[in-house]
Amino acid sequence: MGMKVGSAALSYLFLFSLSNTLDIGSLGLFLFAYTVFTVLVQVSKSGVDLVLIKAVTSRPSLSDVKGIFASNILLILSVSAVCSAMFFGASSYGVFDVVDSNEKNLGFSLVLIAVVIISVIQVFGALFQSRYKVVAQYWAMNVGLMAFLSAGLGAFILLEEPLGFLEICILFLACSLLVMISVLVVFYRQFGKELAAESTSMEQEKNSVFQTFKNNSPYIAAALLTIFLQWMPNLLGGVFMTEEELGGLGVSLRLSIASNFPFLAFAALAAPAMARYLHADNVEGLRSSYLTYHAVSVSFASAVLIFFTVFSEFMLGMFGVHGYEDLLVLCTLSWWVRVAVGPVGTILMLSGNYRMAISSLLVSVVICSSVFVFGYPSLGVNAAGWALLAGSVQLSLFNAIQAYRISGALYASPVYFYFGISSLFRKLLMKKYG
């Protein structure tokens, strides 16, 4: 949890520094490029975290996971390179109105190179997660990049050197290379001797990239749809919106994500235990494994929603953005809905109900994109918030009902929340008074 908080703090420090260094147009352009980076990295990762968690849970020896690990690296390298090439072609042919000069296209290309580097690093982060190396996991997945970027940007600010879109993109690529080097060093120190000492099964060694893609296909589909649902308004905004609107949307989206940081952290922590309970058909264990986590997540998300509703103008003003208060509240409310129902999507995937989870995500993506495209002419940038909220409500309700049928746990129930709060207070009292 501490690493998740640190990751969030570094992300917002970087966003704060950017917004107070760049003008709103350059900020919007970079946040669009950063959104593309985020989407492509998550697409390339293709659900590798859940694949490795399930593999390590059922076969805890690294000798059995080594082949899966290597084939997933090759898969992600291939996917990230192809996706980056496709977006480079799209920007070169003028698909994105905001990338309208050679300098902007060069900066965008540097970010796409960073996509390949950070995508491969995600495999190492997933292995760190599956072996409970929490610090190394977060360093590989986000903390390392945000730490280097914040330090680099802070140095430029102290030196009072002017920064533009291209300079930020150069810094971004340089920091990505530093993250890659540091993660490889940590990986070698953590697992080098263990991997060298253990033999790899022949069956695992024969797995091809195509076979790995086939085995991961349910996770790939779910990851793709989840990513598009989260970032659809920002991606479509690159076609419809101005740079200023992209800046307001980018800041609002990233601020709203603060409401679900405990939820994401706890869902990641609980995933290995959930996988074990589902594998053992232990329904009671599955219910109790997320009890306290749910109470903390919902309480935090509710507090953030109230705070952003009351102080939305102040919060946006800190990042140099004005006039997007309603958008910030709508985006935060959409995240609150997802937090309230608990990690129901993860339960569907870990229990093997891939088709059910993917169908729900597909419907949600269609709803989200339709509301945005048809609502933008009349609602303007606020259409993005309504689109996210509509998609989140549909996804959350459907997944909550299906997860209840599987596990018998209705996380959105006030009773479940009450037991979670009670359990949390009991633990705190026992810790204080023994």
pLDDT of residue 238: 75
Please check the confidence at residue 309 and state whether its pLDDT lies above 90.
yes
pLDDT of residue 283: 67
Token pair recorded at residue 231: 């970032």
Note the helical H segments in 93-208.
102-130, 134-138, 144-158, 165-197, 202-205
pLDDT of residue 154: 81
Q: Encode pLDDT of 383-406 as tens digits.
A: 999 999 999 999 988 888 888 887
pTM surpassing 0.75?
no
In whole angstroms, what is the distance from residue 60 CA to residue 58 CA?
6
- 132 confidence band (pLDDT: 50, 70, 90): low
In whole angstroms, what is the distance from residue 193 CA to residue 41 CA?
29
Token pair recorded at residue 308: 């952003």
pLDDT of residue 354: 75
Q: Which of 211-215, 308-312, 349-353 has the lowest mean pLDDT?
A: 211-215
In whole angstroms, what is the distance from residue 171 CA to residue 157 CA?
13
Q: What count of other Cβ atoms lies within 10 Å of the Cβ of residue 407?
A: 22
- 265 confidence band (pLDDT: 50, 70, 90): confident
Q: Encode pLDDT of 162-219 as tens digits.
A: 778 888 899 999 999 999 999 999 888 877 666 665 554 444 444 555 555 565 566 6
Q: Encode pLDDT of 31-81 as tens digits.
A: 888 888 888 887 777 666 666 666 665 555 566 667 777 777 888 888 889
Mean pLDDT of 298-307: 91
Token pair recorded at residue 383: 């259409």
